[in-house]
Amino acid sequence: MTLIPVNQYGDKILRKKAVPVQKIDPEFVKFVKDMFETMHNAYGVGLAANQVGSNKSVFVVDISVMKEFPDEKPRVFINPKIIDRSDKTCSYEEGCLSIPDVRADVIRPEKVTIAFKDLDFNDQVMEVDGFLCRVIQHEYDHLNGIYFTDRIDEFEQKKLKKELIRIKNRKIEVEYPVTPRERD
Ligand code: ZN
């Protein structure tokens, strides 16, 4: 099992836009497998490549770990593009393996349509709603350098500021491997 250290709030790569994947090779397949292991080990339901040090445009999702979704399967989204968003929005409390112990309500579209490539590099289009849709939008944001904390109002952001600095400085206790603090 290969666990990859998870980048934490403030790490430069988490502000970078992902680069499209050109081909699926054994190295990439191994990386995706490692992403799942890293995510499962941390009890996460989603993980984007830049959270584990890669600029590749890929994220993984597995909500079957939650008791409400036992029939769900692990999913891989390569070169994803959200091509449609519902006007109707909803609010849900989110967390992030790169922002441990911080949670906040985030308003997002209730439904989205996402185009992506699967692990066989075939094109797929999926319309999603509910919790899966929430996780997909959160991970999709990562690939565009966006944290969920960017999407809350200024007042809420101010309340979290100290926490975010604490994470940046690695004054945190987490049960999974994280990257060391980056120099400014
Ligand atoms: Zn996240």
What are 75-108's pLDDT values in tens digits? 999 999 999 999 999 999 999 999 999 999 999 9
Q: Which residue is catalytic, options 68, 93, 110, 139? A: 139
Q: How far is the CA of 104 from the centre of ligand 1 (A)?
A: 12
Residue 62 scores a pLDDT above 90: yes
Edge-to-edge strand ranges of the sheet holding 111-117: 46-48, 58-61, 75-85, 111-117, 123-129
**pLDDT above 70: percentage of residues in the chain:** 100
139 is catalytic: yes
pLDDT of residue 37: 98
Residue 1 scores a pLDDT above 80: no
Q: How far is the CA of 108 from the centre of ligand 1 (A)?
A: 15
pLDDT of residue 184: 73
Q: Enumerate the domain spans of the chain.
A: 12-168
Q: How far is the CA of 154 from the centre of ligand 1 (A)?
A: 19
Per the document, the length of the chain is 184
Confirm or reject CATH 3.40.50.450 for domain 12-168, answering yes or no.
Answer: no
Let me know: does 94 contact 103? Beta carbons within 8 Å.
yes
Q: How far is the CA of 97 from the centre of ligand 1 (A)?
A: 6
What are 112-167's pLDDT values in tens digits? 999 999 999 999 999 999 999 999 999 999 999 999 999 999 999 999 999 999 99
